[in-house]
Structure 1
C-alpha cells in the first residue's frame, strides 16, 4: 500500500462503486450512487478529526460528551464533478462550510485552468476536505491544493472515488503531507488522460451531458 493513501474497502463502498462503473447505469442512478458512496466514505475520511469534551444535560442528568474540536469542517468541491461527492458528504456533515475551486482541463496539455475560487473565512482554524471523483493525472488536485494551502488550513485531506498510480504519484510528490482517501486504485491512464478501466467522465455522467 502506498504511504499516505487509504483505500476504503468496505463491502458497501465496493458494491456501489461497481454499479457506478457500469456504462448502462442511468444518470439518475449515477447521481444516487455517487451521493451514497460519498456518505459512506465520509465516515472513514472524518474518523480522526480531533474531539473535545463538552458538558451537556440529558433528560436524566448532567453528562460529558464529545464534540468535534475547533471551527466547522470545510468541504471543498473541485468543480464541476466534485459537486456529486459534496452533496453526499453534506448529508453526513450538514453543518460543514463549503468552498469551491473551479477548474477545467485543457485537453491539449492536460493541465488545469482555474476559473473560480471561493473559500470560507478562517481556514487556519478549520479542517479541510477536498473532493473530486477522479484522481487521473493529479494536476487538478495539485492546483486546488496549492491554492487552498496558501490560506493555511489546520489540516487537509483529499477524497476521490477512483484513482490510478500516475495520479497518486504526482499528488504525493507535490503534497506528501496530504492524505488521499479513495475507493479504488485502477490500472493506469490512457493516452487521453482517462483512468482505465475507470468509469468514464464523472462530470458528464453526473450532469447528463456529453463531451
Structure 2
C-alpha cells in the first residue's frame, strides 16, 4: 500500500454505509452493518500481506500452495467503537492477536486521554492494523499509534469507516508511514469535532447509549 489514503468505493461498501448513516437505522441493524462492512474493508487493508508457500497434499496430488507469511496479524481496537470493526475482521482472520487502546476525548480541548493499553507481544514482527470507525480530528488515532510505535510496532495500517480531511491531514503529519483505509472521506468537522455529514457517534449508535 503506497497511497497514504485509500477510499474503498466498492458498491457494497457504499450501499451499507448509506444505510448506517440514516438516523433511523436501529442499533441492531447498525451493529450488523458495521460488522459486514468490516469484512469488505478488511479485504482491502490486508490486500498486500506478505506471502510464502507450503507443500500440501490435495486429494489429487501434492502442490506448493500460498500461505500468509510471518507472525499472526495484530488487530488493535481503539475503544470502544473500534470493537465493531474488530469483530468483523476477526470473522475473517480469527487467529489474529488482539490489543486494545483506551482513549477518551476531552470535550474542551478535544485532546486524547489514555485510560487503558494492552497489546500483543512481538509487535515489531507483526503487521499491525489499528481500527476505529471515525477518523475525526485525528488526535486520538495519532496518539494511539504513538503508543504502538513505543511498544515496538513498525508496520502499521489504520482502518476506519469515515474520515474527515482534518483527521487525514493530522495523521499524515504525525505518521506519514501509516496508510489509511476508509469507506468515505467526508466533508469537514463541525464545532464539536464531529464528522459532517457523518453518522453521529459510532459508539452510541452501536451500543444504544447517549
Task: Report TM bin, short chain.
Answer: over 0.9
The answer on 1:193 being equivalent to 2:198 is no
2:57 maps to 57
Q: Give unpaired runs (5+ residues) of structure 1.
A: none
Structure 1: which 4+ aligned runs deviate by more than 3 Å? none
SS of equivalent to 1:40:
helix
Structure 2: distance between partners of 1:168 and 1:9: 17
1:171 maps to 171
SS of equivalent to 1:14:
helix
Deviations 1:116-158 (A, max 9, x none): 0001111111100000000000001001000001122241000
Structure 1: distance between partners of 2:113 and 2:30: 26
Structure 2: distance between partners of 1:56 and 1:163: 42
SS of equivalent to 2:205:
helix
2:19 maps to 19
Q: How does 1:101-120 map to 2 (within 5 A)?
A: 101-120=101-120
Q: How does 1:3-14 map to 2 (within 5 A)?
A: 3-14=3-14
Deviations 1:1-56 (A, max 9, x none): xx510000000000000000000000000000000000111001100010011111
2:92 maps to 92
> Root-mean-square deviation (CA), in Å?
1.1
When normalised by structure 1's length, the TM-score is: 0.97
Structure 2: distance between partners of 1:124 and 1:59: 38
Structure 1: distance between partners of 2:196 and 2:41: 22
SS of equivalent to 1:99:
strand
Structure 1: distance between partners of 2:57 and 2:120: 32
Q: Do the aligned partners of 2:20 and 2:33 also contact (CA within 8 Å) in 1?
A: yes
Structure 2: distance between partners of 1:185 and 1:124: 30
1:28 maps to 28
Structure 1: distance between partners of 2:81 and 2:115: 15
SS of equivalent to 2:192:
coil
2:203 maps to 203
1:74 maps to 74
Give the Å deviation of 1:57. 1.4
1:153 maps to 153
When normalised by structure 2's length, the TM-score is: 0.98
Deviations 1:60-79 (A, max 9, x none): 21110111110000111000
